[in-house]
Amino acid sequence: MKNLSLTLWSIWSWFVFGLGIALLLPTMAVVWLVTAPFDPSRYWTGYLFRKITVVHQKLNPLWTFRLGGEYPANPRNPYVVVSNHESFVDILLISNLPWEMKWLSKKENFKIPVAGWLMRMAKDIELDRKDPKSAAEAMRQCALRLDDHVSVMIFPEGTRSTTGDLLPFKDGAFRLAIESGVPILPIAVFGTSTALRPHDWRFGKSVAQLRVLEPISTEGLGVDDVADLREQTRSRIITELKDMGRDFGEL
């Protein structure tokens, strides 16, 4: 009976998600056209795109999302935002934050029908993880978004953790922040691993939470400080995840 309930609610939730994308496509196209002369980074197009996840979560009874921490006073003062990565649902959870960020995402996601088109309209940033030239171009595109006062969102682990343990962080996000002269904004996410069952199209029950941590300044730092900045950020996220686990009775 429990599996039947999960199946039925999953069908409903996928339907809501697909319907939201289909309905939003023409609206995003209008916003994209109207704002083109004064919004080259497509801030408002992307902002509208992320609202699909807000509506979806409200209509999905299997998930409860909780957001906390100190939000940036002015999100148009850009950050390189970094987070741990438990599940695909991390993207949906983080997209509930009330400001727009451009996402660095693997090229396979841009090939998803409709959703990939919307990502391109929102000017998210494509990365081919097998091509070093693509990585360099992706970082250049990230820097352009930052120059246009739009934050970028990067998972520095590079892929989802399958064990729940935090994987080593890669240098790219931290080198980008130092070279662009913008702070790192760390985020910790907890509880999303049960929201989407591994190798299964059905959703699971989840109470997931997100905490926005204190920004880390890159003022005065150079490329020799990338490793220290990387490990400082990772350590803060690990500490916060332990606190979040205790709050949930997991640790």
48-85 pLDDT, tens digit each? 999 888 888 888 888 999 999 999 989 899 999 999 99
Task: Report pLDDT for 2.
Answer: 61
Domain ranges across the chain: 2-247
Neighbours of 38 (CB within 10 A): 7
Task: Report pLDDT for 251.
Answer: 42
- How is residue 126 written in tokens? 């494509």
Q: Are 135 and 149 in contact (CB under 8 A)?
A: no
Block residue for tokens 């993880």: 129
Task: Report pLDDT for 116.
Answer: 86
Q: Is 33 left (phi over 0), alpha (psi -120 to 50) or beta?
A: alpha
Which residues of the chain fall short of a pLDDT of 70?
1-2, 162-164, 246-251
Q: Are strands 184-190 and 151-154 parallel, antiparallel or unpaired?
A: unpaired
Structurally, what CATH architecture does the domain formed by 2-247 represent?
A: 3-Layer(aba) Sandwich (3.40)
* The model's pTM: 0.91
For residues 119 and 145, give the distance between their C-alpha atoms in angstroms, rounded to a whole number.
Answer: 14
**3-class secondary structure, 39:** coil
Q: What is the pLDDT of residues 220-239, one digit of tens each?
A: 999 999 999 999 999 999 99
Over the Cα atoms of the chain, what is R_g?
18
